[in-house]
Structure 1
Amino acid sequence: MVRRRRMVRDYDPDRPVPPEVRDRLLEHAIRAPSAGFSQGWAFLVLESAAERDRFWAATTDGGTPDGWLTRMRRAPLLIVPFSSKDAYLDRYAEPDKGWTDRDEARWPVPYWDVDTGMASLLILLTAVDEGLAAAFFGVPPERVPAVRDAFGVPGTHRPVGCISVGYAGGEDKRSPSLKRGRRGLDEVVHRGAWGVTG
């Protein structure tokens, strides 16, 4: 499943994701690890044409879509994963964690985003397991307020991206970035000390 996972950017618009499969994607997402079992994630599920159109209107400039966007817009299911920093600050101010305040300075790494990213990866892997295609892509920062307004998202939650899901379409093209090749273990693994690879 891990070796078959790839970002797919074209979908068959006539094949919706079955509800039971959609539910499995989300059930697996909430199995992701989270710091302090804070579980500071939420998922906006967009299935109807009207909901998806509202998302694309909120996240794009409204001009004529390019080929990439045209193919992506065919996805019958969009899942927008949101992270909540407040869930982590609140959780770690509880008695069993030993902190008495919500000081954000204790978090040099934003685990609310990391954990939501892990939940997103479980959605991507479950999609492969279910015979679906999927892709993770970003929400432009300047468009986040429009997404909040379009769907009534509280200010406590921030989108970490969006996951398009569906059955692969016929025009999916491999990203030109793949020509770079996957970096090998000898380039990314450091044993015992940085600079000692392999």
Structure 2
Amino acid sequence: MEFAEVVRRRRMVRDYDPDRPVPAEVRDRLLAHAIRAPSAGFSQGWAFLVLETDAERAAFWAATTGEGTPDRWLTRMRRAPLLVVPFSCKDAYLDRYAEPDKGWTDRDEARWPVPYWDVDTGMAALLMLLTAVDEGLGACFFGVPGERVAALRAAFGVPDTHRPVGVVAVGYPGDGDRRSPSLRRGRRGVDEVVHRGRW
């Protein structure tokens, strides 16, 4: 598929065929492409928790959602056969920029105008989303509620040095996948968001 077509077709898929697992070679390509994302200082301060088995996915949903009857969104999202949780590691960046070739002599977080550890890990997630489209699959990026991060860490032994920037659900689109009502707002045009030379 041409790159422009991949970008045009990228959307968030919110329902999956539970009977069609993601082939291992496709999963491996998703992850191989993710680590091609740019990272400040080539810090590569990311890690990816891959959840494929029924037990792993059930543990994820138990840790990250409340009790009670799941709503329509959660019911459909739970059908995704593959979940990849991208984690960012701030320490990797602070350590890297304290190395001699970067010129900083400390690990002062105040030097960073934005948390590039999260930005770079988000770009890695985007490469997974684009790869899923190229492979004929659907994918959705969604967040882990802040109050559930500790439970996620506990369920999977994630160290405190790593923070989830979201979750990438991947699979073949299911029959219940429909366009989000949010899309009725329409996509903002280039002329609405681009400022040439001056705001």
TM-score, scaled to structure 2: 0.97
Q: How far off is 1:186 after superposition?
A: 1.0
Structure 2, unmatched stretches of 5+, are 1-5
Amino acid at match of 2:9: R
For residues 77 and 136 of structure 1, what CA distance do their matches in structure 2 show? 12
Indicate the RMSD between aligned Cα atoms, in angstroms: 0.4
Alpha-carbon distance between aligned partners in 2 of 1:174 and 1:19, rounded to the nearest angstrom = 28
State the match for 1:108 in structure 2. 113
Is residue 3 of structure 1 aligned with residue 11 of structure 2?
Answer: no
Q: Report the equivalent of 1:30.
A: 35
> What amino acid maps onto 2:89 in structure 1?
S
Match of 2:3 in 1: none
Residue number among 145, 151, 165 corresponding to 2:156 in the alignment: 151
Distance 1:48 1:64 in 2: 22
CA offsets, 1:96-116, max 9 Å, x none? 000011000001200000000
Runs of 4+ that moved beyond 6 A: none
Name the CA distance, whole Å, in 1 between partners of 2:8 and 2:180: 17
- Residue 12 (1) aligns with residue 9 (2): no
Report the counterpart of residue 194 of structure 2 in structure 1.
189
Q: Which residue of 2 aligns with 1:162?
A: 167
SS in structure 1 at match of 2:151: helix
Count of aligned residue pairs for this structure pair: 194
Supply the distance in 1 between the matched residues of 2:69 and 2:59 (Cα, whole angstroms).
16
> 1:174 pairs with 165, 175, 179, which one?
179
Gaps spanning 5+ residues in structure 1: where? none
CA distance in 2, matches of 1:168, 1:175: 14
Residue deviations 1:140-189 (CA, integer Å, cap 9, x gap): 00000000000000000000000000000000121111000000111100
SS of the aligned residue for 1:42 comes to strand
1:140 counterpart = 2:167: no
